[in-house]
Structure 1
């Protein structure tokens, strides 16, 4: 068996094949990041060995087209998180210098070093991709609305210093209407006209965000009803989990999901008995962020979770350490709930 490491770029993809047992290089190839180039890489790899595993540095949109092409032709693909490549690029797994073949070789060697089973296997995207695209679009609209709202608040302060707008209230219709009436009655100076335009845009974004929220709620109620109905989750957070996990069947165990999410424990003690753990900065940080929000929500709304944090604090853990431990337990919960709703894995397509 050979392992083929891919260093993806927008214009080209570079592949380096190594032996799956000895990690000895077997060849390299660079092709255009287009359909004909994907076919060239696959023909080259099939000529090297009958058994192949493709290790792609998971660069989202850059590597997505090649990943879908390989999966559609029955190839086995694993995703290597860019964060996990940091140590390889600094350590012995990397050759001296910087080039696309060197980076592709490092990806392949990381897959062999850590074992192919320790990485999530990619699969064809379906409803998960749809949910992720809509969730990401909603997040961008929320960020745009936040930027406009912050600027609008300063204009309003310059106009009426005594007019108080509480944080995060301009996303609510009643406060938008109240401010709109005040601006409409004001003398149309340049600052007032700018504030009116910004408020109009904020209201448009709010309507779009609400529509996306309702659409996501319907989708996750179909794809992941158990997680969407869990205390502390909800449709938007569930959409983040579903979109970033991209198919729970990719993870054979909750421990593998925890490693991918950067929630697996990292021990940082020696010669002591307290067994302290530190933050894992690897893994999918967006998935880790969703897990962190889930933990905070559970602490706030679930008495059993709040009691768990209190017990950890009583045992000498700091708040951050207690939350890290909780996040590892919540990975098990997310994995279990999503597994309960997961459809049977699709059969591979052989060409």
Structure 2
């Protein structure tokens, strides 16, 4: 078995082949163009029994990793943090070249059995793209709305009220009668901002419609969980992908950052807040927890029970997030089993 490590860049990919003992067999640099993949595969034909390891297969290495997966190749994703640690432990210290990086990528993949296999993009990738697009649109809408507030503050006595929308802003602007040339300029800018706000509102609405269709296509039951609507379900599915890559609910909770970190030392047993993990998923769990605490039901009962045990509100909410992480994991595992049974 030959393992081929790839260090991808925008303009070039460097590949290093290693044997079963981790010794370098060959290396090659490929300029990125329309024929890069073809040239790489032609070079690799000398090793019929091969496996690929791509650094950052979810980022800069995504195009190449997806081409390899589509061609039926065995590919794993090597996080850059792991290859960086391998480089530090190697002879020569922190010396960095593309060829050395590719060698360390291959060596990490050779001795780590828990790396994530690269699979072809599917409906989960579409959901992630849609949720990321929605986040961008919402952030841009917030920026435009804040700017419109600032302009209206100088045009209207007392400014615009909170909870401003496009329709409310349009109604307020009908009563504006500029006196000076400066106020005329402000009114024109406010009109432009209002047009931007209406456009962003339409785009957010269209995005959510696409998201609903994409979530429905997955036949997920996540939306049956109180506090978890279509947008949050799309974010969960988009970021998790194949839930079977998490052996247990504890691994899943660690990935979402909802599991506390063990910080014990000697006889002192304690845990601390986990500020790592996938922060987008952690935010989803936080939103679900806040909704359940507000709206009542089993989530609120659990929260109040933790409060009665002496937990602070923040600690009780974190405990509920940990419980919700388990629930989300079980729902996704059940959906996966049902999908496989339906396909059979």
Q: Same fold (TM over 0.5)?
A: yes
For residue 164 of structure 1, report the CA deviation from its aligned partner.
4.3
Cα distance in 1 between the residues matched to 2:19 and 2:311 = 45
Q: Deviations over 1:18-61 (max 9, x none)?
A: 445x444343332233453223333444534614242432343x
Q: Deviations over 1:267-286 (max 9, x none)?
A: 112124443134252x5443
SS of residue in 2 equivalent to 1:47: coil
1:281-320 equivalences under 5 Å are 281=276, 283-301=277-295, 303-312=297-306
Unaligned runs of 5+ in 2: 179-183
Equivalent pairs, count: 334
Tell me, yes or no, if the aligned pair for 1:122 and 1:250 is still in contact at 8 Å.
no
Residue 158 of structure 2 is aligned with which of 162, 185, 196?
162
For residue 337 of structure 1, report the CA deviation from its aligned partner.
1.9
1:1-351 equivalences under 5 Å are 1-19=1-19, 22-34=21-33, 36-48=35-47, 50-60=49-59, 62-82=60-80, 84-85=81-82, 88=85, 91-92=88-89, 95-113=93-111, 115-116=112-113, 118-166=114-162, 169-170=163-164, 175-188=165-178, 189-281=184-276, 283-301=277-295, 303-312=297-306, 323-342=317-336, 343-344=339-340
Cα distance in 2 between the residues matched to 1:294 and 1:89 = 39
For residue 316 of structure 1, report the CA deviation from its aligned partner.
6.5
For residue 233 of structure 1, report the CA deviation from its aligned partner.
1.1
Cα distance in 1 between the residues matched to 2:32 and 2:257 = 30
Cα distance in 1 between the residues matched to 2:8 and 2:317 = 36
Aligned-residue CA RMSD (Å):
3.2
Cα distance in 2 between the residues matched to 1:317 and 1:39 = 60
SS of residue in 2 equivalent to 1:40: helix
Cα distance in 1 between the residues matched to 2:95 and 2:158 = 61
Greater RCO (CA < 8 Å, at least 6 residues apart): 1
Tell me, yes or no, if the aligned pair for 1:262 and 1:285 is still in contact at 8 Å.
yes
- 34 and 219 in structure 1: CA distance in 2 versus 1, 3 angstrom threshold: same
Q: Deviations over 1:242-292 (max 9, x none)?
A: 2222333444544444454445543112124443134252x5443444344
Equivalent in the alignment of 2:181: none
Cα distance in 1 between the residues matched to 2:5 and 2:310 = 44
TM-score under structure 1 length normalisation: 0.80
SS of residue in 2 equivalent to 1:75: coil
Tell me, yes or no, if the aligned pair for 2:15 and 2:29 is still in contact at 8 Å.
yes
Q: Deviations over 1:206-243 (max 9, x none)?
A: 12101211221222123143012321211111111122
Segment drifting more, 103-112 vs 200-209 = 103-112
For residue 149 of structure 1, report the CA deviation from its aligned partner.
0.7
TM-score under structure 2 length normalisation: 0.82
Unaligned runs of 5+ in 1: 346-351
- 139 and 310 in structure 1: CA distance in 2 versus 1, 3 angstrom threshold: same
- 270 and 252 in structure 1: CA distance in 2 versus 1, 3 angstrom threshold: closer
Tell me, yes or no, if the aligned pair for 1:32 and 1:38 is still in contact at 8 Å.
no
